[in-house]
Amino acid sequence: MPVAGAPGTYHDIVVDEDDAPRLDLLVARALGVSRSQAATLIADGRVLVGGQRQRASFRAARGVHITAHVPPPPGREVLGEQIPVSVVFEDEHLVVVDKAAGMVVHPAPGNWTGTLVNALKGRGQALAEGDAEERQGLVHRLDKDTSGLMVVAKTDQALRVLSKAISERRVTRRYAALIWGHLPEDEVVIDKPLGRDPNDRIRMAVVPGGREARTDVVRLGRFTSTELLRCHLHSGRTHQIRVHLASLGHPVVGDDIYGGGGARKVVGMPPARHFLHAAWLVFTHPVSGDRMEFRSALPEALRQSLLTVAELPDLIASPNPLEYFDFYRADR
C-alpha cells in the first residue's frame, strides 16, 4: 500500500459524507498534505472529480469518486560527500552501518546534503538503485535522531532479497528505549494501526484504518521515573516505536514530538536527542545465506543518561550497559 501523499502515487477517494468540505480540504485530509499543496494539485489538473476538473472550492456529493495523482519530485542528482560514517560490516553485496543521531538517512526537501546516502556515496561505493536516486540502497530507515544499526544494499539483488525479508518479518530489529513512567507489566504487545495524524501531517498517530503495526516490548530496568525497554519491531512504520509508546502514556525520553521532551536535565539528556537506539540487528545474508548478527553499544550520551537514572555503581565500568540488563538475551 502506498503511503498517503507519497510522491509518484495515485489515490482513489470516495466521498462518504453528506456535507463534505471543500475539495482542497477534502484532498488535504485524505492525502495528509497541506491545504496549499492540495490546492496546487487541483490547479495542476491532478485531481479529478468524477473524471472532471473542478475548482478548489467545489463540494462533492456523497458517493462521488475522486482521483488524485501526487507527481514524483523532479530529478536531482545525489552527490557523494566526505562525511564520517561508522561501517561495522561490508562486502560486495551490502554494508551495515551504525548511524549517529542527528544524521538524516536520505536526501529530501530541506536535507539534500549531509545524509547517510551522501556519506555512503562519498566512500566511492555503488548502491542498489532502488525506486529513486535519493533512496539508493535503503532496505529500512531510522529517524534522524534515532541512532544505531542499518543494513544498506549495494546490489539490486541484495535490495530485492532483503526488502522481501523485511516485509515477511524475517529481519530482527530490536531497539533500546528509555520511557517516562512505568508499564503495568514486564512484557507488552502493542498492536495498533498507524497513519498520518489528521491534525498534524508532520506527526504519525494511532488511527482507525491505518497500516498494521506491532511492537513487542520487554521491560529490562525499572527506575524512579523511567524504565529501560527492549522494543522488537514486527513492522517498520514511520515513528512506530515512538508513537506506540506514547499511545500508552509513556513517551520516549527526549522525544519532543510525541510528548517526552521535558525534564531533560533530570535524566542527563542532551538537547535534540531522544533515547532510542537500534542496538541489535539479525538477518540472513541475501547471497550466501549466512546468519548475520550485529550489536551496537549505547552511544555515550545515552550511556550517561542511563547511568544517571539507574544509579547502579556496577554500570560505571560497563562499556555497554545493555549487556548488564540482558538486552541481548534471545529468550526474552
Between 6-15, 37-46, 86-95, the lowest mean confidence (pLDDT) is in 6-15
How far is C-alpha 166 from the chain's CA centre?
14
Grid cell 506506540 in the structure block, residue: 244
Measured over the CA atoms of residue 196, residue 96, residue 283 and residue 255, the dihedral's sign is negative
Q: Would you say the CATH fold of 172-284+312-324 matches that of 9-70?
A: no
Residue among 27, 66, 5, 46 at smallest CA distance from 195: 5
Tell me the average pLDDT across 239-246: 97
Block residue for cell numbers 525506486? 131
For 88, the enclosing helix (H) or strand (E) is strand 86-90
Q: What is the DSSP string of 106-148?
A: S-BTTBSSSSHHHHHHHTT-----TTSGGGTTBSS---TT-EE
For the domain made up of 9-70, the CATH class stated in words is alpha beta
* Cα diameter, the chain: 70
Cα–Cα distance, 262 to 6 (Å, whole number)? 32
Per CATH, which fold does 172-284+312-324 belong to? Answer: Pseudouridine synthase (3.30.2350)
86-167: CATH topology? Pseudouridine synthase (3.30.2350)
Amino acid at residue number 31 = L
Provide the mean pLDDT of the chain: 89
Identify the CA nearest to 234 among candidates 260, 211, 258, 209: 211
Phi, psi torsion values for 100, nearest 5 degrees: -80, 150
Instruction: pLDDT band for 9, please (50, 70, 90 cuts).
Output: low
| E strand map for 159-295 | 172-180, 187-191, 194-197, 200-206, 214-222, 226-233, 276-284, 291-295
CA pair distance 70, 160, nearest whole angstrom: 25
**Annotated catalytic residue: which of 143, 186, 191, 331?**
143
For the segment 311-321, what is each residue's pLDDT rounded down to a tens digit?
A: 888 887 788 89
How do the domains of the chain map onto residue ranges? 9-70, 86-167, 172-284+312-324
pLDDT digits (tens, 9 = 90+) for 36-62: 888 888 998 889 998 889 999 999 888
Region of poorest pLDDT, from 1-15, 133-147, 207-221, 312-326: 1-15
| Pair 104, 68: CB distance under 8 Å | no
The crossing angle, in degrees rounded to 10, of helices 23-31 and 35-43 is: 110
Integer angstrom CA distances of residue 93 from 24, 123, 152, 171: 46, 15, 9, 17
What pLDDT digit, counting tens, does each position of 268-304 carry? 888 889 999 999 999 999 999 999 999 999 999 999 9
Determine which of 77-81, 96-100, 180-184 has the lowest per-residue pLDDT on average. 77-81
Is 197 an annotated catalytic residue?
Answer: no
- Structure pTM? 0.77
Mean pLDDT, residues 240-245: 98
